[in-house]
Chain A
Amino acid sequence: MRRRYLAYPYVLWMAAFVVAPIAIVVVYAFTAKGGGATFGNFAEIVRSAPMLRTFARSFWLSLLATVVCLLIGYPMAYVLANERRGAQRVLLMLIMLPMWMNFLLRTYAWITILEKNGLLNRLLGLLGVGPLQMINTQGAVVLGMVYNFLPFMILPIYSVIVKIDRSLLEAAEDLGASPLAVFRRVIFPLSLPGVVSGITMVFVPGVSTFAISKLLGGSNSGMLGDLIEMQFQGTSYNPYLGSAVALVMMVIVMVFMYFMNRVGDGGQEAMIL
C-alpha cells in the first residue's frame, strides 16, 4: 500500500505557499487601483516607454550575464571534473565559499572596488590610466550578476560531466575519435542537461534581480526587480501594477524555459530549480 497521507503536509505547504501566492499575484494583476477587474495594468506597462526599456534591459543584461557565466563556467566545470578527487573537493569548496558570505556584503564589496576612488581606479592610477567610470554602469551590473551567479552555472555542469561514464570516452576513442571529437560528439552532448540547468539557474534569478542593479547600476540601470520593488514601497505604491509586471515577467521566463527544456533532457531538473 502506498502511504499517500505522508504527502499531505507537502501538498498543504505547496498550496499555502506556492499556489496561493501566485493566484493572489494573478488576481492583483487584473485588478484596477480602485477595485474591479481590468486589463489596465498591462496597458499601462505597454504604454510606458521607461517600463518597456526596463523589460528589455533586464532580459538583455541577464542574457549577457548568462552567456559570460557559461563561457567562464563550462571550461571551469570541465577542468574541475577532470581533476583528481582530492583537488575536486578543494576547488568545489573554493567555488562555494563566497556563497556563504552574505549576498549584500559581497555586492557592497564590489562598490568599494569599482567606485571612482575605489581599489581598481587607484591601481589603474598608479599605471597612469583612468580614472574610469566603472560603478553605475550596465557593465557593473553584469559583473555583479556573473560574480554572484557563476557557482550556479559551474555546479550543475560539473555534476553532469563528472558522472559521465569513463568507458563512454574510451569507447569513442576506441571507435576512432580524436580527443577533440570525443569532446564534441560525446562529452558535450552528454553535458547539455547540466548546461540547461546552469543557464536556467543563472538567467531566471538574473532577470528578477534588484539589489545588484540598485547597488552597482545606478539610476539608469534599473531592472525589473527594482521596478517591482518600487511599486510596493515608497510613494508610488501600486501593488496591482507591480503584480502585473511580475506576471508578465513570469510568463516570459516560462516561455524561455519551455524552449530551453526542449534543448536538453535535464529539463525536469531545471524546471524544479
Chain B
Amino acid sequence: MPHVAPLCPAGHLPHKGGDQPAGYSSPISDVGRKAITSKLLISPLVGEMSGRTEGGNVGRILLQLIALFAALFLALTPAHAQSVEELVRQLPEGSYSDRGKIVAQLAATGDVRLVPLLEALAAGELNVVEETGQVVTTAPSGDTVRLTDALTAETAGEASKGAVVRIRVNNSLRRAVRAAIGQLTLMSDSAATRRSAAEAMFNAAEPDNLALLDEALAQEEHAGVRRTMEQARAASILKTDASAEQIAEAVDTISARGDRAALGILTAMLGQADDDVRPAIQEGIKAIEAHLALLDVGQNVWYGISLGSVLLLAAIGLAITFGVMGVINMAHGEMVMIGAYTTFVVQNIVRTSFPGLFEWTLAFALPVAFLVTALIGIAIERGIIRWLYGRPLETLLATWGLSLIIQQAVRSIFGASNREVGNPTWMSGSFDFYGIAMTWNRFWIVVFALAVFAILLVVMKRTALGLQMRAVTQNRRMASSMGIRTPWVDALTFGLGSGIAGLAGVALSQIDNVSPNLGQGYIIDSFMVVVFGGVGNLWGTLVGALTLGVVNKFLEPYAGAVLAKILVLVFIILFIQKRPRGLFALKGRAVEA
C-alpha cells in the first residue's frame, strides 16, 4: 500500500476526479508558484501560446530559451531594486517561503510604515483587493467593507465583501514577520518595544543583524534593553565565522542570560564549534543547567501549590458539608459545575449587553454563582438532606442520584459540548518570578483560593452564623434549647458549602472545560483531600490540598502523570491506615467510634 501522501499546494483544491492518488513522492509544491510564473512578463508559456512561430521547431525553441533567460534574469534581480510599494504588492501571492523572503526584504528597507502593516499581516488582518492588487486593512460597514491602504494608512474607499481576499499566513511566515518587526522597531522610542525587538532578534539570530544591532547599541541608554541587545548580538556573532576570542566572549554573554533559550543556542553551537571554543561552551552549558535544576525545584513547588489551590477550592466547600455537618455530598462536584455554567451565562450577558465590562465578568460572576449554588444547596438540604441526618451513607446515595439528575439537566439545557468561558486579559499570559514562569490565571487562582479560605475561617470563627453553626454541630439539642433555630442553621451551613463550591466553579471555568462532566473530575479528589486533611478541620483541608498538590507535582516528572496520580492515591490509602482520622485528627473521646 502507498504510504507517502501526495503533497500539494494549499488554498485551492486540486482536481479530485479519480480514486487514484497521483504522485506519491512528489515534493511539496508551493501555493503560489504557478501564480508567480504567470505574473512574469515573459514566460516560457508566452512563446508557446503566441502560436505565431511558423519557423518551425528551432524558432520555437529559441524563443522559449530567450523567455527562459528573461525569466531567470527577472527572478535573480536584486530585491532592493524594488520599491517598498512593489514589494508590498507581492505579499499576497507566492509560496509561504517566497513571501517570507519578501518580508525579509521589506525589513531591510527599514521603512517604519511597515510595522503596522506587518503586525496586521501576522494577525491575519491584511487583505488584498482582488481587482487592483492593493493591500488593505478592512473594517466592516454594513454590507460592504471600508478599506484602508495598509502602507499609507489612507482610506481607500469601500468594496463589497467578496472583492477583498484575506492574505493567508502560516507559522513560518509569522516567524519571518516577527523577525522583521524586530528589525524595524529596534530604534523605536519605547524601551519595551526596543526590548521585544531585541528579543525577537535574539530568537532569530542572523549575521545580517549585526550592523543594525551595533548601530542600536551605540545609542542605547537603557541598561536592560542594552543587555538584551548584547545578547542578540552575541547570538548573531555565533552564526558568523568570528574569531575564537569573539566567540568565547559571545558564549559568556549568552551563558550569563542563563535561561532555556540560551541553553538552546549553546547546545546547538556545541555541535559545530571548533575545539578551542568547545570547553567554554560546555562550561556555559553546565552553569546554565545547574541554575535551571535549581529553578526546576522552585517551579515544581509552584506547580504543586497551584494544583493544591485548585484542589483546595474544590474541596473546601466539601470540608464544610462533609467535615462540619457530616453530610457526604456527592453532588458537590455538580455545584462546582453549576458555578462554572453561571460564569458562562454571566459572561454571555456581559458580552451581548455590556461589552465594555468584559474584563469584570468574573467579579460579577462570583456573587451570582455564590447565590445560585447556595440557593440550590439550601433547596437540597430542605428537600432531601434533612430527612437523612444520622444516616451518612444514605446521604451519599441520595446526593449521588441528585448529581446524576443535575448533570443530565445541564446537558439538556446547555448541550453536551463544552462552553466557552473567556479569560479576561489580566488572567492570560505569564510573568517571570526570579526565573520561575508563573501564569497569571494560576497565580490569581492561588490568591483566590487563599482568600476564600481566609474568609471562610473568619465566617466560622467571628460571625454569629459561624458560632451557631459550630454550636449546632457540637450539640444540637443544647443549641436548640438556647434558642438557635437548628434547621435554619443546617440549611445555611449547607448553603454556604454549596456556595463556596459555586465560587470554585467560577475559578475552574478559567482553567478547565465547562462541560456537564466538570464536577465529576473533581469529586473524588476533593474527598481525598478532606479525608487526608482530617474531617472537620478547615486547616487540615488547606494543608491536605497543598501537600497532595506538591507531592503530585514532584512525582510527575519521574513517574508520569498517570502513575503520579496512582501513587498519590495509594499513599492516601496507606496514610489512612496509619492515621484513620486524617492528618489533623480530632483528639479525645469523641474520636472513638
Partners in one complex: no
* B contacts, CB < 8 Å to A: none
